[in-house]
């Protein structure tokens, strides 16, 4: 079955190049009207240039699609509002948000400055908040919305020299895990992609040969599916890139439950550490205190 976005409007942040551009173009080819957001700064979050977003808008129009450029910064609260306002003022609605905008400021932790930390958090995690905070009331009102956040292997598994980036990308998982719950009754699904692609950002940390091979288009299928009405899953993290797709998940091990009748000490933990840390029989969770299996079962009964 062909996945179509006819009649829908999508907002893609950081869509002036790389992954964002690839998402925007594929969505437009499938009938979506697209708000192409990009401040046009460099990979380190410096400067601005409106030509990046406008160039992608022009590409979409040449393909016969509809698009409008937005040049606001995701790191600014009013900027996030204005992106959503652009969608409503231009196309009358908003159905899809892809939080893709990002920067890198890689440096070993002992050399990391306050600005290195704050800038990365401002673009990645605050930048997701500003846009979604403006879009969320619309999604609730229309009982429909599809969101994809962007994490990274640095946030899931860790990468030397990326304490700021990795921590911000892990924060995406916390944001997703709350919003998936708050959006469930309103048919608002929130998933997360961990992409691997050759872009302006990864060009600063990857050999050029690898950058050239890791086409952003290799990530697009997973993201476009997750923001479609056909996708009914919420709260998933999908790693995508280099022709590979897989789910990454945080699970809860069975552990030990000795109860509160007697206080345990560090020596007890030492003696039982293997059982406490075992992942045999581990299960994904939907929220604190409820497994994903139990949640899906209750949803099926509703």
Rounded Cα distance, 104 and 226, in Å: 25
In terms of Cβ atoms closer than 10 Å to its own Cβ (0-12, 13-18, 19+), residue 8 is: buried
8 Å CB contact between 278 and 253: yes
Q: Does the active-site annotation cover 165? A: yes
Rounded Cα distance, 292 and 302, in Å: 15
DSSP-derived 3-state class of residue 172: helix
Q: Which of 165, 186, 225, 295 is catalytic?
A: 165
In terms of Cβ atoms closer than 10 Å to its own Cβ (0-12, 13-18, 19+), residue 71 is: buried
In the block, tokens 């995701």 appear at: 74
Backbone phi and psi for residue 181, each to the nearest 5 degrees, phi listed first: -75, -45
Q: Indicate which residues carry an active-site annotation.
A: 165
């Amino acid at each position: 079955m062909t996945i179509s976005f006819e009649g829908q409007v999508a907002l893609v942040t950081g869509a002036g190049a790389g992954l964002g551009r690839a998402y925007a173009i594929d969505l437009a080819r499938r009938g979506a009207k697209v708000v192409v957001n990009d401040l046009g700064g460099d990979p380190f979050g410096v400067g601005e240039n409106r030509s990046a977003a406008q160039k992608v808008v022009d590409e979409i129009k040449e393909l016969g699609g509809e698009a409008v450029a937005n040049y606001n910064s995701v790191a600014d609260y009013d900027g996030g509002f204005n992106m959503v306002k652009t969608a409503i003022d231009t196309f009358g609605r908003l159905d899809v948000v892809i939080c893709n905008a990002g920067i890198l400021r890689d440096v070993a932790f002992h050399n990391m400055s306050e600005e290195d930390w704050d800038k990365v958090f401002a673009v990645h995690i605050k930048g997701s908040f500003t846009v979604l905070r403006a879009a969320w009331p619309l999604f609730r009102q229309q009982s429909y919305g599809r969101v994809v956040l962007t994490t990274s292997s640095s946030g899931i598994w860790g990468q030397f020299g990326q304490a700021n980036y990795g921590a911000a990308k892990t924060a995406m998982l916390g944001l997703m895990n709350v919003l998936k719950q708050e959006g469930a009754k309103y048919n608002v699904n929130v998933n997360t992609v961990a992409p691997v692609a050759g872009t302006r950002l990864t060009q600063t940390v990857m050999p050029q040969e690898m950058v050239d091979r890791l086409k952003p288009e290799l990530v697009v299928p997973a993201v476009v599916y997750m923001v479609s009405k056909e996708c009914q899953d919420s709260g998933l993290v999908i790693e995508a890139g280099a022709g590979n797709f897989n789910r990454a998940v945080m699970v809860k091990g069975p552990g030990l439950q000795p109860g509160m009748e007697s206080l345990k000490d560090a020596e007890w933990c030492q003696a039982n550490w293997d059982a406490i840390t075992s992942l045999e029989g581990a299960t994904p969770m939907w929220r604190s205190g409820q497994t994903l299996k139990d949640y899906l079962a209750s949803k099926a009964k509703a």
